[in-house]
Amino acid sequence: MARAQLSSETVTATRQKLLALALDIHRAEGLDAISFRRLAEAAGISHTLPYRYFESKEALLVALRVVCFQRFETHVREHEKVTAPLPLRIRSVAEAYVSFVEQHPAEYQLIFSTHQPPPDQYPDLLAARRSLFDHAIEVVQAGIDDGLLHGDARALTHLFWLSLHGLMSLHVGGQLVHGCGLSDLIEPLVARIIGSDAPKPMAMPKSASTINQQQRFKPVEALITPRRRRPGPRG
């Protein structure tokens, strides 16, 4: 007996429900815990029914990443101070990136995890990634047009994104363990990116600093013992 045709509204609603459940599983148990069997149990449906909406687990995760990218961009645009002076506008975008990561670390890990297919294999995922990045290029280009930034907008955006992504990935991974946290580093990072004066680090007491420098960083000459030349044969 042929399956009954589902309306597009029913398909969309069911896909959204399954994606929300998959995200809940990822938040609670990690990415490896997501499976069609686990998803069906959470949804209270047969174990084969998720295949009607996603052809594979990879397709499910791609759709989930698209949703997370779209939420990421929405968050950034909602918190961007579009009419503010350019330095404040750029700062607001950077702060929006950071606040999204602080509020949604699991989503950030999901969309930027290294174990995933190349985005260009999935047009919807590539489009979602490009939309977020193109918005950042737009903000950087405004800074260039205003004379605040100098260079190629796409190249500068890559540098901006690499710096922020590195910082946020270390934060999400719990690797900022050397005395400075995310909130300590974001302002100096943004200040350096836009070329303003970043806050200077606290100086150590002079005596301690001097002692440490002398003990730890001796001049190269002090580490080399001159070799005595042996007398050669007399001629």
Residue 11 has pLDDT above 90, yes or no: no
Q: Quick one: average pLDDT of 197-225?
A: 40
CA distances from 166 to 38, 158, 172 (A): 33, 12, 10
- As a whole number of angstroms, the distance between CA 89 and CA 145 comes to 14
Long-range contacts from 216-221, C-beta under 8 angstroms, 24+ separation:
none
Q: Counting Cβ atoms within 10 Å, is residue 20 exposed (0-12), middle (13-18) or buried (19+)?
A: middle
- Residue 134: both structure tokens together: 């193109």
Amino acid 234: pLDDT: 56
| Dihedral sign for Cα atoms in the order 109, 115, 116, 118 | positive
To 10 degrees, the CA torsion angle through 20, 24, 25, 30?
A: 120
CA distances from 199 to 17, 184, 185, 188, 189 (A): 46, 10, 10, 6, 10
CA distances from 52 to 3, 18, 56, 193 (A): 11, 11, 10, 47
Check if the beta carbon of residue 68 is closer than 8 Å to that of residue 107. yes
Task: Output 31 or 195, whichever has higher pLDDT.
Answer: 31
Q: Spell out the domain ranges in the chain.
A: 7-54, 62-193
Residue 197 has pLDDT above 60, yes or no: no
Q: What is the pLDDT of residues 93-148, one digit of tens each?
A: 998 998 999 899 999 989 887 777 887 889 999 999 999 999 999 999 999 999 98
**What residues contact 219, with CB distance under 8 A and at least 6 apart?**
none
Amino acid 214: pLDDT: 42
Nearest-5° Cα angle at 155, 149 to 160: 65
Average pLDDT, the chain: 81
Q: What is the pLDDT of residues 146-179, one digit of tens each?
A: 998 999 999 999 998 888 888 888 888 888 889 9
CATH superfamily name and code, 62-193: Tetracycline Repressor, domain 2 (1.10.357.10)
This prediction has a pTM of 0.75
- As a whole number of angstroms, the distance between CA 25 and CA 91 comes to 33
- Any idea which fold 7-54 has? Arc Repressor Mutant, subunit A (1.10.10)
Q: 62-193: same fold as 7-54?
A: no
